[in-house]
Amino acid sequence: MVSRIAVPQSLHADVEEPREPVWQAKYYPFSLFTEKKAIEKLNYMHWNPVRAGLVSSPCQWRWSSARYFEQQKSVGVPLGWVF
């Protein structure tokens, strides 16, 4: 059971409401119905930092699950394969 945490008003009184949506209009959620599509999306996400020139390999990106899938190394959170 998850309990709620009371946050004093003073902690977030100075925070403005966002003026723009968090998600850009061209992005949308969709369900993954096949293993092939799941692998395609994982590869896309894993290679984004490489394409952006932030790292030379997907496994080098600190927040990537690539190390789990490619090297069977822990990434700090439990992961598994759904298919």
What pLDDT, in 10s, does the model give residues 17-62?
667 666 667 767 778 888 898 889 889 999 999 999 999 999 999 8
Within a domain: residue 58? yes
Structural domain includes residue 24: no
In sequence order, which residues have a C-beta less than 8 Å from that of residue 67 and are 6 or more positions away? 59, 73, 74, 75
pLDDT score recorded for residue 43: 92
- Domain-embedded: residue 25: no
Q: 54 with 62: CB under 8 angstroms?
A: no
Q: What is the pTM of this model?
A: 0.59
Domain that holds residue 74: 53-78
Q: Which amino acid is at 26?
A: K
Residue 71 lies in a domain: yes
Task: Answer yes or no: is 9 within a domain.
Answer: no
pLDDT reported for residue 61? 92
Q: Is the predicted pLDDT of residue 1 greater than 50, yes or no?
A: no
> What's the total number of domains in the chain?
1
Q: Is residue 74 part of a domain?
A: yes
Helical H segments across the chain, by residue range: 9-12, 35-51, 66-71
Is 60 domain-assigned? yes
